[in-house]
Amino acid sequence: MTDSHIKIAVAQIDANTKAGHDRMQWLETQLYLAKRQAVELLVLPELFVSGYNVGSLVDTLAETADGPTAKTISALAQKYQIAIHYGFAERDRADETRLYNAAQCIGPEGKVLGHYRKRLLPPGFEATYFTKGSDVTLFSWRGFNIGMLICYDAEFPELARQLAVAGADIILVPTALGSQWGWVAQQMMPTRGYENGVYFVYANYSGVENEVAFLGASFIGSPIGQVVARASDVEELIVATAKLEQVKEAQARLPYLQDCKVL
């Protein structure tokens, strides 16, 4: 049995923090604190770079996947030797009129480990400004297979199951969950980890942005559905260790992934 493990942190930011310099300065503070706790992977919320409830301003703040903010985050990942998983509004390089709600993980060598475009868009702001993604993203790092979803995606059990059947050990989910959706963070999302036997990492905002209040309650869940670290409703850094052995044990104990193939 392998002893592979990764120490993961979620950095929950106040949604009112201004895009640009203020968010990057805040991120560097979180990386400094995370480094002191030997964190290897830091996970940030949905649309971290631009902010979530920004309306038409998202078009101004959108960048290509290798744009200026990606270069800044790459430099920070190398400086602190921590992989950084963050949400951003992506401008398609081939068609600059097309935007995606995207996430990207940049490793401590400064290279992109994984990139994902949100596949399911809720009505309103997102459906107005973004195009749906279409691909499944699963990348291997430090002995783990790591899947990527974004917010609303994870509320569909089919997408988490698709990643788990493909071999995911950890699923990372940046989100922008409003304060009225407490049940989603408290019950539904930990269940996603349990029903697939994977670690589930949910990174939300706290505070208020342009009159929209966010829940906070970011968490890191275990493969048996236990919440091993949970944030409150303010800015917070939470840390937990993912162990590959626990994934294998959970999936052997409850063979959902094998049995679902006959349905």
**Per-residue pLDDT for 22 more than 50?**
yes
Which pair of tokens denotes residue 71?
A: 């270069």
- Amino acid identity for residue 246 in this structure: Q
Question: Please, what is the average pLDDT of the chain?
Answer: 96
Q: What is the structure's pLDDT at 262?
A: 67
* pLDDT, average across residues 34-57: 98
Can you count the helices (H) and strands (E) in the chain? Answer: 9, 14
Q: Kindly report, residue by residue over 194-252, the tens digit of the pLDDT.
A: 999 999 999 999 999 999 999 999 999 999 999 999 999 999 999 999 999 999 999 99
- Of 90-99, 116-125, 163-172, 254-263, where does mean pLDDT reach its minimum? 254-263
Domain of 251: which CATH number?
3.60.110.10
Longest dimension (CA), the chain: 51
* φ and ψ of 243, to 5 deg: -120, 125
Averaged pLDDT, 77-87: 98
Task: Name the residues annotated as catalytic.
Answer: 46, 118, 151
Token pair of 258 as six digits = 């094998």
Owning domain of residue 14: 5-262
First to last CA, the chain: 30
How many separate domains does the chain show? 1
Give the Cα separation of 261 and 28 in Å (integer).
44
pTM summary value: 0.97
* pLDDT reported for residue 1: 41
